[in-house]
Amino acid sequence: MKRKYPSGTIKIDKKKENIETIKKSPLRVTLLNEYINPALNWMGVLNWASTIQLSPELKVWLDEYNPDVIYAQAQRREAVIFCTLVQRYLKKPMVFHMMDDWLEVLPGSGLIGGYWHKVVDREFREMLATCARHFSISEPMAVAYKERYGFTFSTYHNPIELSFWSKSQRRTYDLGDKIQILYAGRMGLGIESSLETMAKCLDELNKELTTPIELVLQVGKKPDWIEKYNCIVHRGFVPYEDLPSRFAEADMLFLPYDFTPSANAFIKYSMPTKASEYMICGTPILVFAPEDTALVTYAQDHHWAQVVTKNEVKALKNGLMELINNKDLRKKISESAIKLAEERHDASKVRKQFKDELSELVALDNKVKTS
């Protein structure tokens, strides 16, 4: 089942109509991805079945490119090892940016997840030790990782282009004859469960209120379960350039999380990309997530959303009704969200801060080399 894929510089001839690609057998890919690899992974032997090393072609490419600094991310063991190998080969300062606390999910993965958690934790710590700077996706992650790993993490998360996302910014906080709550994004089992909790909540409220409320799901595939509810509208994905206006047109934006224990371990310190996109649009935001997540902490500390932390229809119903009945609250959290987005998520500001930190790192490295 072994197959080699060449690495190195990618050469693209724009004059050619047909670009040569590596052909893969559909049956082989299906067998590997859906049966063999999951089985080996569950048994805990997949990591033993392969080794990672830098190919001669990749080394040539690295030498030719000769970066001043290495920016790295890793979401699995193989990537951690790869980052370490690249840094040790180039001997250049490396910056590592952590997005999700994926290591904490390993103990529950497969037959010997506990063993692999110890192995990967050691490898991850070794990789962090090779880094000159450490970045986190949220402030709670920075605090937790300082205690866990002993390194100081700077926080960089989800910058946005203000001119693009604020072009249709909502200016009024009145509700129309029909209240529209929008969810836009991915669909997963845990997210679907939270969305269905909202559907149950709205079905109850629509029996009690004179103003109808609908939940618009702006997602790819229409979920089967929505047929059980009268309050849901499936929209499907829209062009990227239309997102700011769609977000601003809604009366509220729904930002749910997965409440399952395994998912909570993974996303505890994460920050969804759409959070800052929601903020700048000026539409009131309703966060529905576990209390100990970075998302909830960020929303509560800076008052940019109405927050519900109990995975219950009743709790969600109470939080939503408070938002519906209180125009001043809608205005307050929306203005706070816009202000925070402008202050902390402006891409031009974040890029400058990011560039300055990397430039400082390169300058220090050059100073050491010349001293």
CATH of the domain at 88: 3.40.50.2000
| Averaged confidence pLDDT in the chain | 88
Query: Does the pLDDT of residue 284 top 90, yes or no?
Result: yes
Evaluate whether 159 touches 273 at the Cβ level (below 8 Å): no
DSSP 124-185: HHHHHHT-SEEEESSHHHHHHHHHHH----EE----B-HHHHTTT--------SSEEEEEES
- The total domain count for the chain is 2
Higher pLDDT, 32 or 76: 76
- 217 and 148 in one domain? no
Q: What is the mean pLDDT of residues 249-261?
A: 94
Q: Which residues is 346 bridged to in the sheet? A: 160
Instruction: State which of 155, 172, 203 marks the end of a domain.
Output: 155
Which of 95, 124, 155 is the C-terminal boundary of a domain? 155
> Are residue 143 and residue 167 in the same domain, yes or no?
no
Q: Same structural domain for residues 95 and 169?
A: no
Full residue range of the structural domain in which residue 222 is found: 163-344
Residues 241 and 295 placed together within one structural domain of the fold: yes
Same domain flag for 186 and 326: yes
Instruction: Tell me what pLDDT residue 73 has.
Output: 97
Lowest-confidence range among 5-9, 85-89, 333-337?
5-9
Task: Judge whether 362 lies within some domain.
Answer: no
Q: Is residue 35 part of a domain?
A: no
Pairing of strands 252-256, 133-136: unpaired
Does residue 201 form part of some domain?
A: yes
Catalogue the long-range contacts made by 99-102 (C-beta closer than 8 Å, 24 or more residues apart): 99/73, 99/75, 99/137, 99/270, 100/75, 100/137, 100/266, 100/267, 100/269, 100/270, 101/141, 101/144, 101/265, 101/266, 101/267, 101/268, 101/269, 101/270, 102/75, 102/76, 102/266
Other C-beta atoms closer than 10 Å to the C-beta of 288 total 28
The pTM assigned to this predicted structure is 0.83
Do 135 and 237 belong to one domain?
no
Residue 26: inside a domain: no
Q: Is the pLDDT score of 308 beyond 80?
A: yes
pLDDT average, residue stretch 132-155: 97
Same domain, 131 and 114: yes
Tell me the pLDDT band of 110, cut-offs 50, 70 and 90.
low
Q: Does one domain contain both 204 and 340?
A: yes
